Structure 1
Amino acid sequence: MDEHDTLSKDDSAIANQIDNLETQPLVSILINNYNYDRFVRQAIDSALNQTYPRIEIIVVDDGSTDNSQEIITKYGDKIIPVLKKNGGQASTFNAGFAASQGEIICFLDSDDVFLPEKIAEVVNVFTENKDIGWCFHNQQWVDENTQPLPQTSTQRSSQKCDFRALMKAGKLPPPLPATSALCFKKTLLQQILPMFESDGTSADRYLKYVAVALDCGCFLGKVLTFHRIHNNNAYTLRDDKQWVAAKSFILTGYWVKAKFPVLAKLANKMLGMGISSYWAIGGIDPKYQDVVKNYLSTSSPLEKLEIYARACYHYLKKINQSKV
């Protein structure tokens, strides 16, 4: 065998590797950030250190006033920076998705961390299940220094799931994980995004509830993200969690009904849950009374009865739980 034959075989092997790489789906990792300069570098590094090669990393900064933007721009062409005015988490989801090119989209809050095998595991699930539109997985709660905490989010085993009939009937699925465990096919997100950018809307709740109401998917029973718990978390373990949940359910229900009339029963359920949460803490926030009035003005008498029946049920349930 001469030197020319050896070079030809080497060139052929390299060409095959390139072909295999190009046939793998491109994955977009969308990192949303606001004033988390102490965390954002670790989030970006965890995305860069994935074992799966075909990725693009889009970092959307929502008008931070700390050193976040300086940190982000130092990564140069390793990432795609989107620096925008402050508009809330929903606006970062919209901006990141608009800039993405991937067939698969994975979200990452800038205070969380992906494990190195995260994207490879998710791609494998989508590859083996061509008919699914979403893949969610387990998370490990950690402290500010990424040390494991004794409490954690719900852990599930791997299974294929279809909640569409359940949710169209106005029932909620089992608890779903937070932003950094949410992965979607682009074709599904194109039906959902851009989302409404109202103040108070829980962007990840809207995103995951609508997604599982529109398509089947998979839970992946592996911990692939560290979900950091700290004093500035938007929702997890907050002392004012009921206030946050109340306005989130009301606004999410409002926008679900507006954009997806076929999910009206689900929207009614959310509005009822939001009203019940406000009743439990002293009454509906004046800021959102008009939202409730507008929603009810487009509802039939039967729907109104259903909404208030749900509100009463959940209110009484909260009262009984508080007595235990």
Structure 2
Amino acid sequence: MPDRMPSPALTIVICNYNYAQFLAAAIDSALAQSTSNVRVMVIDDGSTDGSREIIESYGARVEAIFQPNGGQVAAYNHALERVDTPYVLFLDADDMLHPAAAATVVAAFSGSGDWVKVQYRLDVMTRDGMPTGVQVPQSIRADGCGRMLRNGWLYPSPPGSGNAYRVDALRRIFPVPVTADNIHGADFYAIYGVALLGKVCAIDQALGCYRVHRSASTDGPGSELSFTNAEDSLAVARQSARRWSVLRQIAQERLDIALPPAPLDFSAEKARFAQQVYGASFTQRWRWFQYDSGRYFHTIVANPFWTLPKKIAVWGLTVLCLFPAASFSDRVVRYIANPLARAGH
């Protein structure tokens, strides 16, 4: 009798909503993995831009799921009802994977039974898919992240496409409640929730590409401070607190873990700092430093994931924002707030 093909170890789930212009590149990258030990699932969240035709053109090469528009949280919930592999990787429809991503991730999981998540860097590319020379996250450290989370610290993590999960662990966090103010940000619950359940493996290499397609011309004044696509940086900071509240409830009810009332997150504090200081007068900047900077500087000085040289560097750069010339101060703020500014983009 012929040998039976081994069951796939990893499902790559692509969640899509109206990203027809990028979707084919994402699907092609998932199908082009160097290992055949992979299944590809595409969940379309009620797109109206021709995405369905693109998905259907792949035929049986992908498992296609079409759901009414319900948001990313509903898509993650739906995916985890269907996935039947030990591991899952959620790829955003505007991002891409390098060919060795799946093999590298599965090898990492197979090398240790302790990992609940494997995270890796992403190469940042432009809207047109051109490399920028920037990688995210800057810090890939994940040792002790579960312990730090219990103290409220959000650990350095890549965007959603830079993470793969052990399915049985993720199912202890999902399904996540879908409410009017909790339809997006499913990757927040996956990234931080799963780390409460075990160790996170950090691979110090880029296994995919993160596409940035915001621009100052289309998103308005101050968008040069934002690095994310779906929400501006200040919206992300606000949503982070709301999502933490939901995660806190999940952790208490399902895991019997008590999390602090509010998270400690430099990314959120950085967004608030940038919005208050960027384009501000010298008097306004000085007022922020004098009265409103305490939590921001705390997430620098007490940050358990940063080295002392990095703490000193970020502290020093922040103080430069008190330089009287607004043009110089704004340049420093952009440098702190947006990694692309450091590469001249």
Is the 2:11–2:40 Cα contact (8 Å) retained in structure 1?
Answer: yes
Query: In the alignment, which residue of structure 1 is the partner of 2:149?
Result: 167
CA distance in 2, matches of 1:135, 1:97: 17
CA distance in 1, matches of 2:98, 2:188: 23
Match of 2:69 among 42, 67, 86: 86
Query: What secondary structure does 1:127 align onto?
Result: helix
Match of 2:262 among 268, 281, 302: 268
CA distance in 2, matches of 1:107, 1:229: 17
Give the greater-gyration-radius structure (CA).
Answer: 1
Is the 1:58–1:99 Cα contact (8 Å) retained in structure 2?
Answer: no
Query: In the alignment, which residue of structure 1 is the partner of 2:247?
Result: 256
Backbone CA RMSD of aligned residues: 3.3
CA distance in 2, matches of 1:108, 1:29: 7
CA distance in 1, matches of 2:265, 2:130: 37
Using structure 2 for the length normalisation, give the TM-score: 0.70
Question: What is the CA-CA distance between 1:84 and the residue it aligns to?
Answer: 1.0
Query: In the alignment, which residue of structure 1 is the partner of 2:85?
Result: 102
**In the alignment, is residue 133 of structure 1 matched against residue 133 of structure 2?**
no
Q: Which amino acid is 1:259 matched to?
A: I
Consecutive unaligned residues of structure 1, counting only runs of 5 or more, are: 1-10, 283-310
Inter-CA distance 70–266: structure 2 relative to 1 (3 Å threshold): farther
**In the alignment, is residue 244 of structure 1 matched against residue 235 of structure 2?**
yes
Which deviations, in whole Å up to 9, do the C-alpha atoms of 1:26-46 show, x marking residues without a partner?
A: 211110001111111111111
CA distance in 2, matches of 1:238, 1:316: 26
Inter-CA distance 240–225: structure 2 relative to 1 (3 Å threshold): closer
Which deviations, in whole Å up to 9, do the C-alpha atoms of 1:256-275 show, x marking residues without a partner?
A: 12111255434422699979
Consecutive unaligned residues of structure 2, counting only runs of 5 or more, are: 277-291, 300-317, 323-328, 330-345
State, as a whole percentage, how many aligned pairs show the same letter.
25
Count of aligned positions: 277
Question: What is the CA-CA distance between 1:132 and the residue it aligns to?
Answer: 1.1
CA distance in 2, matches of 1:62, 1:248: 21
Question: What is the CA-CA distance between 1:155 and the residue it aligns to?
Answer: 4.6
Question: What is the CA-CA distance between 1:238 and the residue it aligns to?
Answer: 5.8
Pairwise mapping of residues 2-151 of structure 1 onto structure 2 (< 5 A)? 15=3, 18=4, 21-22=5-6, 26-151=9-134
Pairwise mapping of residues 190-269 of structure 1 onto structure 2 (< 5 A)? 190-198=171-179, 199=181, 201-231=184-214, 236-237=227-228, 241-261=232-252, 262-269=256-263
Inter-CA distance 244–129: structure 2 relative to 1 (3 Å threshold): same
Q: Which amino acid is 1:161 matched to?
A: D
Is the 2:266–2:296 Cα contact (8 Å) retained in structure 1?
Answer: no
Inter-CA distance 46–266: structure 2 relative to 1 (3 Å threshold): farther
Using structure 1 for the length normalisation, give the TM-score: 0.75
